[in-house]
């Protein structure tokens, strides 16, 4: 047996010499240490040997096994090192240029416009407390308005924020009045998915607090932002709306750019797309942020960023945006 095992080790050494890559080594390893190996058949035969034979052959087989394992490991290390050394980083690499996601492009455009208008860009947490997402915004625990935003409540008592409006309170607390902030961000709602609904989408929050602020200021700001982003004149329509954190509240609709206001599936044949929720900040919200509503007034708005990107790029199915499908996403310009 001893002689035969010596032969095995010799032929292993020869085979290892011929290996040039990691995969070769793994094949050799299984040949010499695997179930069908000579070594293994000797090991299996141990059980039929006498005690005396076992005493001699057991340690011998163990020693050979260790020797084989070491030879294989050493050669593997050699090859891996060689592979690393022979890696030529000057060789041309076949890679594809990435491009900005449509949401990123539109978000950047709006924040650039708003920065020029004197807004500070801020951002808040996606995992938010119930207080900042609802209560401080004048939506107490049992308020029916909570039904408007189907919420993901987390086991730790927090929520996945349903709106970027939580930034209003953070900003008031952090900076006080007067204030102009713009807060783009991702929000989450428990929606049934279809071409117009996603459970993860984007908004941009805007808020101005100062002395003698009126709805005129809101309309001026909105008109300018939307016109510049869409790179064309846009027709806006103001409708009365309801949000607990504003009084009065408005929905701002934009004439559908896909059909030009005539009516199509995207605008549900109404000619308009609901794009912005807005209004004059409710005194209770100012108070939550530590600002005296007798001294200051303000307006706030939330732009449906995902919807705006869909309008701008004429994307008819919202699910494409979160799909990661590069065939679709890479066609957008890099800004």
User: Using CB under 6 A as the criterion, which residues of the chain lie in contact with ligand DAH when the complex forms?
Assistant: 163, 165, 205, 243, 245-246, 277-279, 300-302
Q: Which is nearer to ligand DAH, 42 or 299 (CB)?
A: 299
Token pair of 116, please? 């020029």
Q: Which is nearer to ligand DAH, 64 or 177 (CB)?
A: 177
Q: Which is nearer to ligand DAH, 42 or 245 (CB)?
A: 245
Minimal distance, residue 96 CB to ligand DAH, in Å: 36
Minimal distance, residue 162 CB to ligand DAH, in Å: 7
Minimal distance, residue 227 CB to ligand DAH, in Å: 20
Q: How far is CA 19 from CA 30, 96, 317, in A?
A: 14, 34, 53
Instruction: Tell how strand 236-241 and strand 246-255 pair up.
Output: antiparallel
Distance CA 106, CA 2 (A): 76
Q: Which is nearer to ligand DAH, 195 or 215 (CB)?
A: 215
Report whether 173 contacts 290 (CB < 8 A): yes
Q: Which is nearer to ligand DAH, 16 or 300 (CB)?
A: 300
How many Cβ atoms are within 10 Å of 236's Cβ, its own excluded? 16
Q: Which is nearer to ligand DAH, 109 or 205 (CB)?
A: 205
Q: Where are the beta strands (DSSP E) in the chain?
A: 120-121, 127-128, 159-160, 179-188, 200-210, 236-241, 246-255, 272-281, 297-304
Q: Which is nearer to ligand DAH, 102 or 298 (CB)?
A: 298
Report whether 121 contacts 114 (CB < 8 A): yes
How would you list the strands of the sheet with 297-304, edge to edge? Answer: 120-121, 179-188, 200-210, 297-304, 272-281, 246-255, 236-241
Minimal distance, residue 271 CB to ligand DAH, in Å: 22
Phi–psi pair at 200, nearest 5 degrees: -135, 115
């Amino acid at each position: 047996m001893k002689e035969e095992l010596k032969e095995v080790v010799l032929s292993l050494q020869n085979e290892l010499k011929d290996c040039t890559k990691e995969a070769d080594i793994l094949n050799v390893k299984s040949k010499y240490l695997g179930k069908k190996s000579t070594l293994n058949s000797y090991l299996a035969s141990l059980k039929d040997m006498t005690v005396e034979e076992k005493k001699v052959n057991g340690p011998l087989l163990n020693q050979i096994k260790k020797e084989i394992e070491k030879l294989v490991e050493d050669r593997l290390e050699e090859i891996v090192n060689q592979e690393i050394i022979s890696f030529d980083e000057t060789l041309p690499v076949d890679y594809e240029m990435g491009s900005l996601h449509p949401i990123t492009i539109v978000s950047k455009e709006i924040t650039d416009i708003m920065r020029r208008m004197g807004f500070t860009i801020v951002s808040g947490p996606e995992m938010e407390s119930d207080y900042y997402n609802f209560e401080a915004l004048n939506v107490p625990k049992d308020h029916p308005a909570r039904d408007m935003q189907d919420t993901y409540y987390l086991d730790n008592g927090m929520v996945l924020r349903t709106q970027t409006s939580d930034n209003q309170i953070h900003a008031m607390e952090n900076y006080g009045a007067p204030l102009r902030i713009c807060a783009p961000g991702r929000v989450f709602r428990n929606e049934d998915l279809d071409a117009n609904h996603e459970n993860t989408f984007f908004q941009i929050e805007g808020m101005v607090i100062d002395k003698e602020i009126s709805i005129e200021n809101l309309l001026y700001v909105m008109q300018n932002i939307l016109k510049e982003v869409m790179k064309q004149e846009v027709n806006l329509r103001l409708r009365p709306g309801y949000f607990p954190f504003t009084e009065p509240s408005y929905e701002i609709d934009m004439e559908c750019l896909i059909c030009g206001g005539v009516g199509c599936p995207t605008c549900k044949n109404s000619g308009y797309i609901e794009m912005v929720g807005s209004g004059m900040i409710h005194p209770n919200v100012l108070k939550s942020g530590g600002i005296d509503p007798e001294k200051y007034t303000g307006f706030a708005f939330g732009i449906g960023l995902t919807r705006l990107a869909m309008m701008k790029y004429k994307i008819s199915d919202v699910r494409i945006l979160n799909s990661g499908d590069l065939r679709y996403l890479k066609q957008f310009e890099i800004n």
